[in-house]
Amino acid sequence: MLHIENVVKAFGKHNAVDGVSLRLEPGVVGLIGHNGAGKSTLMQMLATLTRPTSGRILLDGQDIVAKPELMRSRLGYLPQDFGVYPHLTAFEFLQYFAALKGVRDRRRLHEMLELVNLHEQARRPAAGFSGGMRQRLGIAQALLGEPDVLIVDEPTAGLDPEERLRLRHLLGDLGRQRLVIVSTHIVSDVENMATRLAILRQGRLVAFEAPDAVLARAAGRVWTALLAPAAYEALRGRVQVLQAQPQGSRVQVRMAHPSRPCAEAEPAQASLEEALMVQRDADVRVAA
C-alpha cells in the first residue's frame, strides 16, 4: 500500500532521514528509535507536512510528494504535540475537525467518541481532560474520515500505565483494518501489537522485521543471576548489563552474553526491549 523509496531529508549538511526504503501494508508498524533517530521527520514526510530532499513516497503506486492530496484524503494523523481548544467540548472539537474534513454525518462523531470510550464525556470541555483522554480524542479526530493510513507520533508520552495500556489496545484493534504507523522510543508500547518493526538509528533504517525475528536472535544470549555486590562488580565489565536491581544484600542482574557468563547465571527469556539492546550492542561491536 505505502512504498518509501530511498527517502532522504537533509537539514543543511545533516541528513535527518538518510536513504530509508520501506514497503508497508495493513497492520501495525512500530517505528522504533531513540530521540533524534529521524522518526518524527519520516512521519511528517509520510503525512505530507514536509517534502523529502530526495526519494519517492508512493501510495498505491501514486507519488504523494507530487500529489499530496492523494495521501491527505486517506490519512489520519495524530502528532506528538496534540492540543485542544480550551472552550470546546469533546463533541464540539470533533464537529470542528469534521467540518474541516468534509464529514457531515453527525452519527460519525458519536461513533468515534464511542470507539475511544469518550461518549460519556462528550459534553465536557476537552481542556479538562487527562493526558490519556486527550490522546484518545486525538485518535477520534484522526479516524473521522475513515482513513486507510493512521499515523501516530509518540502516542503514550506522559500517560500513566493504565492509560498507556488502554491506548495500546485501541491502536492494536485499529491495525486489523488499516495501516497504523506508531512512532515511539518506548519499545513496550509496540511489543504486543506491532506486526512489523522498523528500527531507525541516526536517520538510517537498520532493520525491518517481525518482533518474533528480533526475539529469536536474542535466544540464548540473555541471562539472569542473583549475585553478591563484589561478584556483580567483577562481572559488569565483561558482560552487557540489561538490568540490575538490589534484592536485600544481593543484586538481581539481567545480562546479555553469547554464553553462560558465570556459574550463577540461568537462561532468561528476553523482552523485546532487551532483544533490541542485544542487537544494538552486536551492531556496535561489528562496526568497531
pLDDT in tens, 53-88: 999 999 999 999 999 999 999 999 998 878 888 889
Please tell me whether residues 142 and 265 are part of one structural domain: no
Please tell me whether residues 30 and 155 are part of one structural domain: yes
pLDDT in tens, 100-120: 988 989 999 999 999 888 999
Please tell me whether residues 140 and 234 are part of one structural domain: no
Helix axes 131-142, 106-115, angle to 10 degrees: 140
E strands in 72-213: 75-78, 149-153, 179-184, 196-201, 204-209
Q: Does some domain include residue 16?
A: no
Contact (Cβ atoms closer than 8 angstroms) between residue 42 and residue 31: yes
Q: Report the percentage of the chain scoring pLDDT > 70.
A: 97
Strands 75-78 and 149-153 come out as parallel
Please tell me whether residues 41 and 178 are part of one structural domain: yes
Contact (Cβ atoms closer than 8 angstroms) between residue 224 and residue 244: no
Please tell me whether residues 32 and 120 are part of one structural domain: yes
Q: Does some domain include residue 4?
A: no
pLDDT band at 29 (very low <50, low <70, confident <90, very high): very high
The 3-state DSSP class for residue 108 equals helix
Domain count for the chain, please give it.
2
Q: Does some domain include residue 231?
A: yes
Please tell me whether residues 142 and 231 are part of one structural domain: no
pLDDT band at 265 (very low <50, low <70, confident <90, very high): very high
Q: Does some domain include residue 60?
A: no
Domain that holds residue 229: 216-287
pLDDT in tens, 200-243: 999 999 999 999 999 998 999 999 999 999 999 999 989 999 99
The 3-state DSSP class for residue 109 equals helix
Can you give the CATH number for the domain in which 162 is found?
3.40.50.300
Q: Does some domain include residue 67?
A: no
Per-residue confidence (pLDDT) for residue 281, from 0 to 100:
56
Task: Inform me whether the pLDDT recorded for 288 exceeds 80.
Answer: no
What is the pLDDT of the chain when averaged over all its residues?
91
Count the alpha carbons within 13 Å of 237 in the hemisphere toward its beta carbon.
Answer: 4
Please tell me whether residues 125 and 235 are part of one structural domain: no
Task: Inform me whether the pLDDT recorded for 284 exceeds 70.
Answer: no
Per-residue confidence (pLDDT) for residue 285, from 0 to 100:
35
Q: Rounded to an integer, what distance in angstroms lies between the CA atom of residue 230 and that of residue 224?
A: 16
Please tell me whether residues 119 and 191 are part of one structural domain: yes
Residues ≥6 apart with Cβ < 8 Å to 249 = 228, 229
Q: Cell 549538511 sits at which residue?
A: 13
Q: Does some domain include residue 2?
A: no
Task: Inform me whether the pLDDT recorded for 50 exceeds 90.
Answer: yes
Q: Which of 176, 208, 240 is the last residue of a domain?
A: 208
Q: Does some domain include residue 19?
A: no
Q: Does some domain include residue 144?
A: yes
* End-to-end Cα, the chain, rounded Å: 38
Please tell me whether residues 279 and 150 are part of one structural domain: no
Alpha helix (H) ranges present in 18-160? 39-46, 68-72, 90-101, 106-115, 131-142
pLDDT band at 122 (very low <50, low <70, confident <90, very high): very high
Task: Inform me whether the pLDDT recorded for 282 exceeds 70.
Answer: no
